[in-house]
């Protein structure tokens, strides 16, 4: 299957491209490199041993997007092209509404005349807000978003559900938790632009001496150690879930709504301690004030994807933290 991967040079997108090729598909990357670098393309090619088709295009650029769709005629689309930092979305909401909502609508407007068999959407557990029950399953109600980022994911799900309601395209809404880790080769991984907004990239940059210390956002939450709890899933497992969802939806002509997580929660301090243990390096940190938009704890009930797709996480938290540090060390070479 030829698959258009928007944001395919980004963190999750690049790993998914690798997994698509391993599964025998033909990915086409569309990325404007606002949150990635062109070197990622060459790193993917080194991993898979073949050239990758890619376009340096913004999905908000309608004429160029039309050219790509008309030229490539993809059968499937995996949509990653969105901004993703909770904190930044609070500070700059219009950036998130424009890229995550307006540009999504633009993409749909362009593809509406084409035969797309499956559309996979990169959603998020943030749509659950502060859930009533932990672990959270797909039947949990969507709560009022705690950040503009969370709102754009909920709005994106609604837009896509309405758009594809009477169409032949099968829609996959994947609500995933906290992606971590890197490709085991160390050739691709999370490459934040500027100061990292996510925990693991900041931790590895502190370990590498790029950042002086880590500020833990809040130490007074109602958790065992006072810090927020999240479900950290290896990016390779996450990438694999996208491929399996795409294939299943096409083969079974079925829409999907799935949580993608390990089913286990780890606190910020547990992550720091595990990173130090796995990589034999100390992390300097301090406890700071809470960050607006953060929920206290959330982790997945992943039983539905396990049952429906036969998907299982293959990588442990230790693997994730080891691979993250390996990726960071290779960046310095």
**Structure confidence at residue 4 (pLDDT):** 98
Kindly list the domain boundaries of the chain, sorted by start residue.
Answer: 2-177+234-260
Distance between CA atoms of residues 191 and 331, nearest Å: 9
In 110-243, beta strands by DSSP E: 118-124, 170-176, 178-180, 214-217, 229-230, 232-234
pLDDT band at 193 (very low <50, low <70, confident <90, very high): confident
pLDDT band at 332 (very low <50, low <70, confident <90, very high): low
Distance between CA atoms of residues 295 and 141, nearest Å: 16
Q: Is the peptide bond before 155 cis (omega within 30 degrees of 0)?
A: no
Q: What is the DSSP letter of 8?
A: T
Fold of 2-177+234-260: Rossmann fold (3.40.50)
With 60 as the cut, is the pLDDT of residue 127 above it? yes
- For the annotated catalytic residues, the residue numbers are 149
Joined tokens for residue 293 = 């938009």
pLDDT band at 84 (very low <50, low <70, confident <90, very high): confident
pLDDT band at 9 (very low <50, low <70, confident <90, very high): very high
Joined tokens for residue 16 = 């998914």
**Which is it for strands 178-180 and 76-79: parallel, antiparallel or unpaired?**
unpaired
Q: How many Cβ atoms from other residues are within 10 Å of residue 158's Cβ?
A: 12
Exposure string for 219-249, b = 16+ CB within 10 A, e = fewer? bebebeeebbbbbbbbbbbbbbbbbbbbbbb
Render pLDDT for 237-290 as a digit per residue (tens, 0 to 9).
999 999 999 999 999 999 999 999 999 999 999 999 999 999 999 999 999 999
Distance between CA atoms of residues 85 and 152, nearest Å: 12
Largest CA distance in the chain: 55
Render pLDDT for 300-327 as a digit per residue (tens, 0 to 9).
999 999 999 999 999 999 999 999 999 9
**Structure confidence at residue 16 (pLDDT):** 98
Q: What is the arithmetic mean of pLDDT over 145-168?
A: 94
């Amino acid at each position: 299957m030829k698959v258009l991967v928007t944001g395919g040079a980004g963190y999750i997108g690049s790993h998914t491209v690798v997994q698509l090729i391993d599964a025998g598909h033909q990915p086409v990357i569309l990325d404007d490199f606002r949150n990635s670098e062109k070197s990622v393309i060459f790193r993917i090619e080194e991993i898979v041993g073949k050239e990758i088709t890619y376009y340096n295009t913004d999905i908000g650029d309608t004429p160029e997007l039309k050219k790509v769709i008309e030229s490539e005629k993809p059968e499937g689309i995996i949509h990653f092209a969105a901004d993703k930092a909770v904190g930044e979305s609070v500070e700059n909401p219009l950036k998130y509404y424009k890229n995550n909502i307006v540009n999504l609508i633009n993409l749909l407007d362009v593809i509406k005349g084409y035969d797309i068999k499956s559309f996979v959407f990169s959603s998020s557990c943030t749509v659950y807000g502060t859930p009533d029950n932990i672990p959270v399953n797909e039947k949990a109600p969507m709560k009022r978003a705690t950040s503009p980022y969370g709102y754009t994911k909920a709005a994106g799900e609604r837009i896509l559900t309405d758009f594809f309601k009477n169409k032949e395209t099968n829609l996959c809404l994947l609500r995933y938790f906290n992606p971590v880790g890197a490709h085991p080769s160390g050739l691709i991984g999370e490459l934040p632009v500027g100061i990292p907004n996510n925990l693991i990239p900041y931790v590895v940059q502190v370990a590498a001496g790029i950042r002086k210390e880590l500020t833990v956002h809040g130490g007074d939450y109602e958790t065992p150690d006072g810090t927020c709890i999240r479900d950290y899933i290896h990016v390779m497992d996450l990438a694999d879930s996208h491929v399996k969802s795409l294939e299943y939806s096409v083969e079974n002509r079925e829409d999907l709504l799935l949580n993608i997580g390990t089913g286990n929660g780890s606190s910020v301090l547990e992550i720091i301690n595990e990173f130090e243990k796995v990589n034999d390096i100390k992390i300097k940190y301090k406890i700071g004030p809470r960050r607006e938009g953060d929920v206290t704890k959330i982790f997945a009930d992943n039983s539905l994807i396990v049952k429906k797709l036969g998907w299982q996480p293959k990588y442990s938290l230790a693997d994730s933290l080891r691979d993250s540090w390996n990726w960071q060390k290779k960046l310095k070479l």
